[in-house]
Chains A and B, each alone.
Chain A
Amino acid sequence: MKKALLNFFERIEPDKEKQPFLHTLYDGFFTFAFTPNFTTKGGVHIRDGMDLKRTMVHVVLALQLCYLFGTWNIGHQHFAALGMYTGYLEALHLKIAYGLIKLIPIFVVTHVVGLGIEFYYAYKKGHGIEEGFLVSGALIPLIMPPDIPLWILAISVAFAVWIGKEAFGGTGMNVLNIALLSRVFIFFAYPTFISGDEVWIAGLEKVDTSYVSEAYGWGAGFFDWIFSGVGWSTFGEGGVPVVDGYSGATPLSLAFQGGWDNVTQAYSEGAMLWGTIPGSIGETSKPLIILGALFLILTGIASWRIMVSMIFGAATMALILNAWGATPFMEVPWYFQFYMGSFLFAMAFMATDPVTASSTSTGKWIYGFLIGFIGMIVRVMNPAYPEGWMLAILFMNVFAPLIDHYVLQANINRRMKRAKVAAVS
């Protein structure tokens, strides 16, 4: 099997001189399957199979549970809003099919745009394709609302990869987190598509059309054909109205209006924990995110220091706000703050990005703590933004090099002092 794959790759290898762009592409995909066949010489090197590509793939693996759940949740939220199939396992096939109809275009557009730019620059600069975009490309669909227009998505991804990464010199050089940069771009450039109560549930404005293909998109006919063949329920004729009084508000906006009681009237604590609530595609299910986070910690990809200190920072600020208690949102008990919003997703996959976080151990504690602290301030006190982690992480990304600088300087000073003491005595 391995031999056959290697043979296949050798057979299709394009000529490096004649077709440089094709060779760059080839090289990128070849190193997915095999580690490169050369070793570095001279100097000190880490001898380990764990290269950049392997590291990235681990993060993508950790995200798979979120993808699975997100796919189902898109469909579940959609049908729940219509008052159909409210049981969790009812019409599972329809929910997953609808999730795929929504998720696949987002995923494809993200990758075509992002990888396209990446491939082009790898070819232009004459280095191998770096897999930085694999992780960003896996993260971006998860932090988008399911109904995001694809052209906006394409612009935001292009902005993030171009300005946020390639301008800085490519993978591993970016200062701000690419996935968050693309989201923040939409957030400020097209705010109506990514905030408010209506955007978190897929396909609501189109459900009244009586043509199923218009309400459910390109795949519905195809899936209906399969499902009717097997004898399962189908998407039907469309034209089902939204349930009366359905708002689609997320727990955070409810909490902002009326505190914790207002939230629990709409969603049970269990639903918030397991994530059967409206939200960005991948951020709702807390246990699955925690599993992913544990996987990242065990494989040593993500820093547990950042995660722990971020929880600590958020809890500290929430306790301060509890004590202050000026608005209903501030009076939400601090432990319930973790039930709402995307805190865990940001903590597990965004803040721990090894490129943009602080790289010193002491720095990581400071960095994580301040993200938790500032994010909670933005979430609770800033009426303009419903959720704070995206902006708090970007804010601390800006300061991460500064934290590192002073941590390093303190280390140098301490050792200089020790050296001087030793020299004197």
Chain B
Amino acid sequence: MATWDSQPFSTQPLRAGYRRADVELQGVDQAVPSYEGRLFLNRAEADRETALAAEEGYLGSFHVFGKVFCWGEDERHCEQPDEREFDRRRYPNRYAKARVRTIDGLLRELVSKSGDQATLHIVAVLPEREDYAQYKAEDVLRFERLSIVTYA
């Protein structure tokens, strides 16, 4: 099972007033097997059997439609080249943005039950296929940045 755990982060900014809160992932690598990413707050032991319910710390899911892996053997085969002046070619994007908008009040409710710090956990649920069993967390949950963005 592929999981990702955050380091503890301050819940103080999440207690302030806001009208909307998003869990935002930037630079999500699509050269991975497709999966559903389930987000849990303060639930390090969550797994694919954990109920998708607020009382379990479930915040929502995002889905990555991946291309499994990059087949090219040469270095940077599937990487987008750096932009150059006069280069009009357009390269498909390997890295995507995913956003999980939390349900109104859910984050607030969960944070109110947290201490000064909280942790975020992702459970990557892959199709139950034999050739997918080999993938570990580092093969699947690949992204540059994860944050919780609030809008006043």
* Co-complex (A, B): no
